[in-house]
Amino acid sequence: MSPSASSPLDLIVVGGGPAGYMAAITAAEQGVRQVLLLEGTPEPLQKVRISGGGRCNVTHACWDPRELATHYPRGSRPLRGPFSRFACGDAIAWFDEHGLTLVEEPDGRMFPQQNRSEAVIQCLQKAAKASGVQLRTKAMVQQVRVHPEGGFVLEGRGLGPLHGRCVMLATGGHPSGRKLAQSLGHRVVPPVPSLFSLTLQAPALTDCSGIAVDDVGLDLKLGNQRFRQTGRVLITHRGLSGPATLRLSAFAARALHQSRYQGELKVDWSAGQGRQGMEQRLHQWRREQARRTLSAANPCEHLPRRLWQAFLTMAGVEAERRWADLPAKAERQLVELLCGQSLSIQGRGPFGEEFVTAGGVALGEVNLATMESRQCPGLYLAGELLDVDGVTGGFNFQACWSGGWSAGRAVAAIFKRSH
């Protein structure tokens, strides 16, 4: 295959990430003969390499397409269609057919059996090579324009003019992809950060950095909008992180951006007991642990001792006071802290390791059954370039597998009809 402007290729995929690889492999395996994958960097699949701390959270064990779609702050309802055709079970089967076994962890996340991201990269690269996909690295596409005789012409750094019958943009969150999409008539929703930790003004709490607590309730109010999440929270030296915090930041991404990452967060540390349950618990402790000190007798077994002692400090209670001597006012203060601690958000932490953004090409401009552009026939889009993002746990990769597979199948269908 010698790509040039005079000999159009069947499919040119711009972006060597998960969506691009899945589309290229699927199209080639379905009979598309000339598939070229262009990657601007020296090494493709870098996001796969660094994701999950080098382990790569490939997908999530969520079998119902409708339930799966609820994990996407942007795109939840539109994604039901693509997920009904290629969801997590299909992704698991696809990787298994291509020699990579995925293993489910207790929380539903799925990782390669080898427990390293390199195994996923090798699987995708092997499948691409076996199906005849051609890869070109250090090829930064800077312009895509419609060819007067059909198809598209691509130009850029590291490549001469290329003519392709179909083009797919799968450039992830890189600005270059959004610019290309705009040049071809698409509206781009401005990207903002998603999946990040929260920076708080709470020194007594951040002194407990490194402690993780399950079943923590988070309630964020920004103007007339309210966002709630419950789950595992990690206390950091700057504030809060962990799965529940990251999910909260994803669903509140645009509202937090508009508020300049300032706001009030209420945290329920009671593990679902609520005020009434916590009041009863403290009354019980006052009777049963009357002679023991507040510090030594922790009524909240789910809270590590160091964190319980921090709550005593925040409530202004002497840690060595006996439970029998706990003033009623101090008891009310403890209940308030444990069931509805009010914390001031001062900013956001850095991006998560996968650098997820909320924003991209508006979903209404893409036929999600085929991933073909409604603005520019023959152009396909998938992955983070679209205004789609999921919470942490393998959901962002799943959107890439689903979109890439749909695009590859759609392109193959065109060439089957033409032949």
pLDDT of residue 3: 44
pLDDT band at 53 (very low <50, low <70, confident <90, very high): confident
Contact 163, 153 (CB under 8 A): yes
**149 phi, psi to nearest 5 deg:** -100, 10
pLDDT cut 90: percent of the chain above it: 92
395-418 vs 88-97: helix crossing angle, rounded to 10: 70
pLDDT of residue 376: 97
Give pLDDT tens digits for 90-116.
999 999 999 999 999 999 999 999 999
> First vs last Cα of the chain: how many Å apart?
19
5 has a pLDDT exceeding 50: no
How far apart CA 22 and CA 346 sit, in angstroms, is 40
pLDDT of residue 352: 53
Give pLDDT tens digits for 202-229.
999 999 999 999 999 999 999 899 999 9
What are the C-alpha distances in Å from 329 to residues 243, 317, 325, 332, 333?
34, 10, 12, 5, 6
pLDDT of residue 419: 60
222-236, 330-344, 349-363: the lowest-pLDDT one = 349-363
353 has a pLDDT exceeding 50: no
Burial of 141-158, coded b for 16+ CB within 10 Å and e otherwise, reads: beebebbeeebbbbebee
Q: For the residues 144-171, what does the mean pLDDT come to?
A: 95
pLDDT band at 158 (very low <50, low <70, confident <90, very high): confident
Residue with tokens 């797919």: 168
Give pLDDT tens digits for 121-133.
999 999 999 999 9
Question: Encoding tokens for residue 236?
Answer: 């950091």
3-state secondary structure the chain: CCCCCCCCEEEEEECCCHHHHHHHHHHHHCCCCCEEEECCCCCCCHHHHHHHHHCCCCEECCCCHHHHHCCCCECCCCCHHHHHHCCHHHHHHHHHHCCCCEEECCCCEEEECCCCHHHHHHHHHHHHHHHCCEEECCCEEEEEEECCCCCEEEEEECEEEEEEEEEEECCCCCHHHHHHHHHCCCCEEEEEECCEEEEECCHHHHCCCCCEEEEEEEEEEECCEEEEEEEEEEECCCEEECHHHHHHHHHCHHHHHHCCCCEEEEEECCCCCHHHHHHHHHHHHHHHCCCCECCCCCCCCCCCHHHHHHHHHHCCCCCCCEHHHCCHHHHHHHHHHHHHEEEEEEEEEEECCCCCEEEEECHHHEECCCCEECCCCCEEECHHHECCECCCCCHHHHHHHHHHHHHHHHHHHHHHHHC
Average pLDDT in the chain: 94
pLDDT of residue 2: 41
CA 111 to chain centre: 15
328-340 vs 274-288: helix crossing angle, rounded to 10: 140
CATH architecture type of domain 9-192+353-418: 3-Layer(bba) Sandwich (3.50)
pLDDT of residue 290: 96
Q: Report pTM.
A: 0.91
Query: Would you list the domain boundaries of the chain?
Result: 9-192+353-418, 196-351
pLDDT band at 6 (very low <50, low <70, confident <90, very high): low
Q: For the residues 273-292, what does the mean pLDDT come to?
A: 95
